[in-house]
Structure 1
Amino acid sequence: MSGRQRHPTTRRQADRRPGTPSAEPDEPAGPALTTGALARRLGVAQTTLRTWERRYGIGPSHRDPGRHRRWSPQDVARMEHMCRLTAQGITPAEAAQLAMADDGRAADHPTVAAPQPRTPGGLRDLPLGRVWPESRGLARAAVRLDATAVQTQLRTAIDTYGIVVAWEHVIAPTLHAVGRKWATSDESYVEVEHLLSWHVSSTLRSATTPATDTRPPILLACMPQEQHSLPIEALWAALTERALPTHMFGAAVPAEALVSAAKRTGPAAVVLWSQSRTTADLSVVRTLLALEWGPRGARTHPLTLLAGPGWAGTPPEPGTNRLTGLASGLALLETLFG
């Protein structure tokens, strides 16, 4: 764990990958893409591609009658160029003209001088590294502040790969890149981080239906004063995806409220998330470990699990375990229910 109803799409197995991660910049070589595949790669909706073609004349070079449209490597490179320009604040009309002019396809569109970017930076400024194409597409959509495309990218990733794979290989790398850029860019990416985080949270909550299991639940909570809740929201979504009983309390849960909830529910486990060492309060952990319930002679203590980088370097507390990732943490919690 390093951040509605589901559409009835068919999920592939989690071990199927979308291909070798791409490095910056994207290479134009490769097979022709369908419009859907290109939309996922660019981080735009398919309807946006059709609108751009209709309005600005930028589309696939060739069409075969009666067949789905295919985008050649040159077409893909052109559209990636257009998306880079729009991410810099250039209007779609101007970006289309410039992208087509660069490869000689602007016969009916007069070439214009490149406008100055109106927003700071672009996709190339994000420290994405080697990531899945879906992560690069999500980043493009977020940088453009294209809320519709962000939502589409997130839903498609979750419906295709499931919560765990989508989080670890698509969502988390994008969140980390945007967060690092925000932290080093004098607040210039704060709007990108906020938009992306909000849509990640709303998509995780809408992707699954809470279980009706009556067994003792798993309690999920952020430490008092801890506002970063997206990773534990991903754990909640992964648990509910597997129909396991879970209670989510979210960000900055007061210690007294957390203890009260544990006493009232008798949980199978309590997971405490801490993003920063300043919020990793062991006194709260010790209070939870001291709780017990059940009949005399068969008293039960809650299994207390510490998740998040805030606990790094903290001396291990007897009776606790560390969760170091979404997949491994989920596997441990699943063992509680056989």
Structure 2
Amino acid sequence: MSWTPRAVAAMLGISPTTLRTWDQRYGLGPSDRTAGGHRRYRDDEVDQLRRMVALTAQGIAPADAARQSRQRVPAAPPPTRPVLTADAARSVRRGFLTAADRLDEPRVRRLADELITAHGVVAAWQAVLAPFLVELGERVHRRGAGVEVEHLASAGLLHALRAVPYPDRDGVLTALLSCAPDEQHTLALEALGAALSEEDCLWRSLGARVPPTALRDALERLRPAVVVIWAHHADFAAAVPIEGLRRDTEAVLVAAGPGWAGLALPASVRRPATLTEAVRLVVDLIRG
């Protein structure tokens, strides 16, 4: 993928003037050009500049920082976690259902904390937490009762997801998360945010029912590299002015949730099908 100088400056939280200076003085400039002669940064060049920003923030002289930024730092291996088997996941879901039926929100929270600690957010969400919520929702629909069970269980999961430590550093915003204008279900976005925290990505969430004007204002002020818009119903997704957003921002647009299925989207809009895909999409866009 390639990036305009303006997008790179916004992504890294530096001024376009600084970007030009680093190009002229230290050769940290783009090597690609479009057919029209416009400069474009490759992902590896953005990664190099990201290291430059981090090094200068530590007080290292720009010339030395530029030299060090050209040296690739091998990524730390991800922590090894035990595999969550299908049988184990079914057993854990039964424990969640029992706690929820007893309206034992603290127990739901503790079970979720333990599950996330042991297996990570993505595995916990896809194998246990999301199916657990789906089953609760189906029971409410089938019986016409039990909304209180669903709400207390959701509260417990929300507490557990928000307990995942946010990256303890300053830096450029990786992703802005937002619900569609009338979308009230936020737990999937909370799961994505928690998973991004585990990947050491900085993110912000605008929460439920975000008007298009509010999303545009936030994009203008925060200038994230990626914006993820969640919708679980087609009517909610259809209310998002996706074409206008695509014109107004240089952030990569990601349409997440089942509400987008079947809707015509511009080719540039990414459409992850699972939490795993959404996390990998965001991380790969940033780290190359």
Instruction: Mark yes or no: TM-score above 0.5.
Output: yes
Q: 1:211 to 1:279 in 2, by over 3 A?
A: farther
Which AA in structure 2 matches 1:138? Answer: F
Corresponding residue number in structure 2 for 1:200: 157
1:252 to 184, 199, 209: 209
1:312 to 261, 268, 273: 261
Deviations 1:203-246 (A, max 9, x none): 11112224534124311000101001110110001001211011
Deviations 1:284-315 (A, max 9, x none): 211210114xxxxxxxx111000001001101
After superposing the two structures, state which structure 1 stretch, 199-208 or 189-198, moved more: 199-208
For structure 1, the residue ranges without an aligned partner over 5 or more in a row are 1-10, 23-130, 293-300
Which AA in structure 1 matches 2:107? Answer: A
Which AA in structure 2 matches 1:304? Answer: L
- Take 1:158 and 1:311, find their aligned partners in 2: how far apart are those partners? 28
Deviations 1:223-272 (A, max 9, x none): 10100111011000100121101111111111111001111121101100
- Take 1:12 and 1:268, find their aligned partners in 2: how far apart are those partners? 26
Deviations 1:94-151 (A, max 9, x none): xxxxxxxxxxxxxxxxxxxxxxxxxxxxxxxxxxxxx521111111111111223212
SS in 2 for 1:290: helix
For structure 2, the residue ranges without an aligned partner over 5 or more in a row are 1-77
SS in 2 for 1:323: coil
- The structure whose residues are more often helix, as a share, is 2
2:180–2:237: 8 Å Cα contact kept in structure 1? yes
SS in 1 for 2:169: coil
SS in 1 for 2:196: helix
- Take 1:185 and 1:290, find their aligned partners in 2: how far apart are those partners? 46
1:221 to 161, 167, 178: 178
- How far apart are residue 282 of structure 1 and its match? 5.8
Corresponding residue number in structure 1 for 2:229: 272
1:201–1:230: 8 Å Cα contact kept in structure 2? yes
- Take 1:183 and 1:219, find their aligned partners in 2: how far apart are those partners? 32
Which AA in structure 1 matches 2:251? Answer: P
SS in 1 for 2:200: coil
2:98 to 140, 161, 185: 140
Corresponding residue number in structure 2 for 1:60: none
- Take 1:12 and 1:303, find their aligned partners in 2: how far apart are those partners? 28
RMSD over equivalenced CA pairs, Å: 1.9
SS in 1 for 2:123: helix
SS in 2 for 1:262: helix
Q: 1:194 to 1:211 in 2, by over 3 A?
A: same
SS in 1 for 2:270: strand
Q: 1:254 to 1:283 in 2, by over 3 A?
A: closer
Structure with larger Rg: 1
Matching of residues 155-174 of structure 1 within 5 Å: 155-174=113-132
1:21 to 83, 87, 111: 87
| Equivalences, count | 210
Say if 2:141 is the partner of 1:183.
yes
Matching of residues 1-338 of structure 1 within 5 Å: 13-17=80-84, 19-21=85-87, 131-186=89-144, 188-281=145-238, 283-292=240-249, 301-338=250-287
- Take 1:211 and 1:269, find their aligned partners in 2: how far apart are those partners? 20
- Take 1:261 and 1:149, find their aligned partners in 2: how far apart are those partners? 36
- How far apart are residue 318 of structure 1 and its match? 3.2
- How far apart are residue 20 of structure 1 and its match? 4.8
